[in-house]
Amino acid sequence: MYATYVNEIDQDGLLFDSEERTSDVQLSPAMNVLLLAVWLVVCAVGFGVAFLGKYRVAGTLIVAAPTFIGMLMKPTFALCVLMLVLPTGAGVGLGAGFSLDRAIGLAVAVSFLINVVLTRPGLRVRHNALWVAAGLSAWIFCASLLQPYLSMEITRAFTQLQLVILILVVYWILETNYEGTFVWALRSYVIGMVGSTVLAFRTGAAIRAMHETRDTRYAATLGSAIDANMLAALTALAFLSAIYLFARDRSWLWRVFYLAALLFLPVMMLKIGSRGGLVALAFTLVSPLLFVRQVIRRPALAVLLLLGILLASASGGLLMRQQSLDASVANRLTDVQRAKQALDVRMAPIKNAVEAVAVRPAGTGYFSWFERTGSLIWPHNDFFFALGVYGIPGAILFAAFVILLMLTVKRMPLTLEKLYARAVLTFLLVMGLSIKQVSAKYFWVFLAFVLATERLSWWHVEEDDDSIDEADEEAADVDG
């Protein structure tokens, strides 16, 4: 019941109230605005030095120094910067030893350690899904000890541990701060995605064209590799976030920006040419229609959903009419025979995973997969990847993690936050049927947002909502 749930949350100190202890060292609102203004000015100077003056190293240092200091001071700012650069992938950096991705992750980790000591906001991890995620990371480490390429497997296990720590840190920041942190983090992400897309269209630098393959399409750079599916997932998540922000944000200025993003991002989805991404996004947008009773109770939310579908359709139609797609990308999206061939190629490693786990219940290992199965690729499916690489325990833990996430979304009251959490989780799960995402940073970060959304959804329940009325009536009956 709602009243009981609120009392439980309040006892854990997780409700929004005037005495809530946040993860940030508290400063006055005027000081926060002043520091933000100074940071924006310094960044503008740094970008001017880098791009207009052609002094790239000097410009980078001018931007990096105050940004790093600000991230250490305020974890909420660190989260926003993380979300801002998340769309760039891991390929923006200096060689293979250092990247923007690693620098931001290091700053977030240091900020977390410093501010836990200084503010000690106190957080009880309410979601068992996080404990299961930690268990999955522990099993991956244990399984790595049984594999032939021990040092490489342990390195891979350490990477998985970093991802689990990341989801815990993001969850901690979102749960111990006000709603503004949630909104600003998503704003930063949409800004970063739109900015990266603009750079891709104009220069191809931040997200370069996939000229190395037979398809001239856009894809995110991930070190020396290129992953168009990852870019499609990043773009779709920004689209879903823009829909939520458009409905929740009261600022008309921001709403104009969100509207532009809703028109712009579907164009990028088509130019990427990821069939799995387009199918997952389409299914995510129409899936709320399966919950007819909830849609009837909240017609305004249904109108918002239809608006998102119409904007995406209008953008795609305008692109096809005015500019059209590259011939290779258009062929990729419309050639049925090619789609069947791709499906056959991806089904092979799934069959290999089932066969491999029958011989090695503890899994083949991340790097030993190819040698032990003869497959040229990992399974393009989250569950079967966990099954084949990390064995039966890994698959069980991953399945339990997903089920707990689904139960978290199910018990939320019907608010914009629930629709957003359901949309993000639906997209990631459907997308996970055709690609491997469990080793991707965006996958874990957005699942942290799904978990943190539960608190916001209860906070936004209106007193005249039917679910509250029913809960209060049930409570009265029990008390009577």
Q: Rounded to whole angstroms, how far apart are CA atoms 250 and 112?
A: 30
Mind giving me the DSSP string for 201-221?
HHTSSSS-B-TTSSS--B-EE
Q: Rounded to whole angstroms, how far apart are CA atoms 363 and 395?
A: 10
**Is residue 413 a contact partner of residue 2, using CB atoms and an 8 Å limit?**
yes
Count Cα neighbours of 405 within 13 Å in the Cβ-side half-sphere. 25
Identify the H or E element spanning 225: strand 225-227
Give how far Cα 33 sits from Cα of 28, 40, 69, 119, Å.
Answer: 9, 11, 16, 21
Map tokens 């997200």 to a residue: 207
Torsion on CA atoms 281, 286, 288, 291, rounded to nearest 10: -140
The pair of three-digit structure tokens given for residue 386, joined into one six-digit string? 């966990």
Identify the H or E element spanning 172: helix 150-175
Instruction: Give the contacts of 379 (CB within 8 A, at least 6 positions apart).
Output: 346, 349, 350, 352, 353, 385, 387, 388, 389, 436
Q: What does pTM read for this prediction?
A: 0.83
Residue 9's pLDDT is 44
Give how far Cα 62 sits from Cα of 30, 39, 71, 76, 92, Å.
Answer: 24, 10, 15, 21, 17
- Burial of 475 (C-beta count, 10 Å sphere; 0-12/13-18/19+): middle
Single out the residue of 143, 205, 175 nearest to residue 79, CA to CA: 175
Which residue type is seen at 283?
F
Displacement of CA 306 from its chain's centroid (Å): 23
Q: Rounded to whole angstroms, how far apart are CA atoms 441 and 240?
A: 18
Return per-residue pLDDT of the chain as tens, 480 residues: 444 444 444 444 343 333 456 777 777 888 888 888 999 999 999 988 887 877 888 888 898 889 988 898 889 999 999 999 888 764 444 444 556 777 888 888 888 888 888 777 666 778 999 999 999 999 999 988 888 888 888 988 888 898 899 899 999 899 888 888 999 999 999 998 888 887 777 665 445 544 444 455 566 555 455 677 888 889 999 999 998 998 888 888 998 899 888 888 888 888 777 788 888 888 888 776 666 566 666 666 666 666 666 666 665 555 555 455 555 555 555 555 666 776 767 788 888 899 989 999 998 989 888 888 888 888 888 999 999 999 999 999 999 999 999 999 999 988 888 889 999 999 999 999 888 888 888 899 999 999 999 988 888 875 435 444 444 443 344 344
Residue 266's pLDDT is 83
Rg (CA), the chain: 23
Give how far Cα 106 sits from Cα of 58, 71, 113, Å.
Answer: 21, 10, 11
The one-character DSSP state at 24 is S
**Is residue 276 a contact partner of residue 229, using CB atoms and an 8 Å limit?**
yes
3-state helix, strand, coil in the chain (%, to 5): 75, 0, 25
